Structure 1
Amino acid sequence: MTNAQFPLITHYLSLDLVNTEIISYDKRHDLIQSGKDMMAWLAIMGETAPFLNSLTLQQVQEQLQSIHQFRAELRKHFERIAEGSEPSQAFISFLQDQIAAAPFSYQIIDDKLARIPNGKPDDSVLSLIAYDALWLIHTKEIKQLKRCANEKCILLFLDKTGRRKWCSMKICGNRHKVSRHQKKMNLE
């Protein structure tokens, strides 16, 4: 799926990483199947990771397995939270351990204070993503985590209004409206 369109519906590294798995035509698809896909996703998410350079990206693309494992762990915990569970202490410890593998220093890059993980490149990327998830827990924004109302969709999002049902109106909300309209037209 090189050059895939990533459903960036949350603008949080951790949630948008989880949302790189989608359901299409009733099958689960991984939008990060290659190092090139990973580099494309990181380039899009680059504002949150301004320290990334081509050397780092070259090294990260070789670490897909650890990124997939990390994403699976995030999904497992995020789905539980979306169903109403509190973030577990085991999940918080998991995130803190990942950050400890590449703790941060700070630099000013492009007039912004940037978090720079110190460690191996794959640990660095995972550290930034773990920090993002830990931030969601700390700020309590994680309590707004929802799963799309489309039973065939696996995307997660933050419901800041308390009324949102769909991952995106462009993706699932519109499909629901079209389906409802077609059913209504068939009844008439």
Structure 2
Amino acid sequence: MIKMANAQFPLITQNLSLDLVNTEIISYDKRHDLIQSEKDLMAWLEIMGETAPFLSSFTLPQVPEQLQRIHQFRAELRKHFESIAEGNEPSLAFISFLQNQIAAAPFSYQIIDDNLARIPNGKPDDSILSLIAYDALWLIHTKEIQQLKRCANEKCILLFLDKTGRRKWCSMKICGNRQKVSRHQKKTNNE
């Protein structure tokens, strides 16, 4: 079983958009959705509120519809992020998709806990997606998106930013340690 960086979610990037995509994992050779219920979504929003304070106080009406929108948005992000991780440039269609989501809930700003926080103005679901879209658009704007990588474990679907140019694993605690243990066992068995 995949051991999480947090009890519930593999928070390996400190980016809202990538951490949303990484709420789908492979465990025991099956894809698992870590946001299946209202409780899961609220837990993820609370945890993400540490980097985006606005999210931690969020309440969502009509959660089944919110879950469906979050899942659709996550699928769109995953499709484009995986393409970028394979070496493709962010498409104009992807950039337009993100900009349109932000336009549905543009930002005002407030000081929260001594930080200047973006506060989306709009319906709750548009507001959440606007913050996540802004994060993805920021990664494109700053060119950090060029550091996007897929975990070297072929059974893992987690994505991360390789800021050193040498990182291979989503996390040493998740996949890297497994590979080290596997290599050690093979070496021990061959001796």
Per the normalisation by structure 1, the TM-score is 0.94
Counterpart-to-counterpart distance in 2, 1:133 and 1:58: 22
2:85 maps to what in 1? 82
Q: Which amino acid aligns with 1:170?
A: K
2:112 maps to what in 1? 109
* % identical aligned pairs: 87
Structure 1 stretch displaced more, 13-22 or 57-66: 57-66
2:99 maps to what in 1? 96
Deviations 1:135-171 (A, max 9, x none): 0000000000000000000000000010000000000
2:168 maps to what in 1? 165
Q: Which amino acid aligns with 2:189?
A: N
Counterpart-to-counterpart distance in 1, 2:87 and 2:54: 35
Q: Which amino acid aligns with 2:14?
A: H
Decide whether the 8 Å contact of 1:144 with 1:159 is kept in 2.
yes
Distance 1:39 1:60, change over 3 A: farther
Gaps of at least 5 residues in structure 2 are 1-5
Decide whether the 8 Å contact of 2:29 with 2:155 is kept in 1.
yes
**From 124, 128, 132, the counterpart of 1:129:** 132
1:183 maps to what in 2? 186
Distance 1:52 1:82, change over 3 A: closer
Counterpart-to-counterpart distance in 2, 1:61 and 1:35: 6
Deviations 1:65-104 (A, max 9, x none): 0000000000000000000000000000000000000000
Decide whether the 8 Å contact of 1:102 with 1:123 is kept in 2.
yes
Q: Does 1:73 align with 2:80?
A: no
After superposition, the CA RMSD in angstroms is 1.4
1:57 maps to what in 2? 59
Per the normalisation by structure 2, the TM-score is 0.93
Counterpart-to-counterpart distance in 2, 1:155 and 1:98: 24
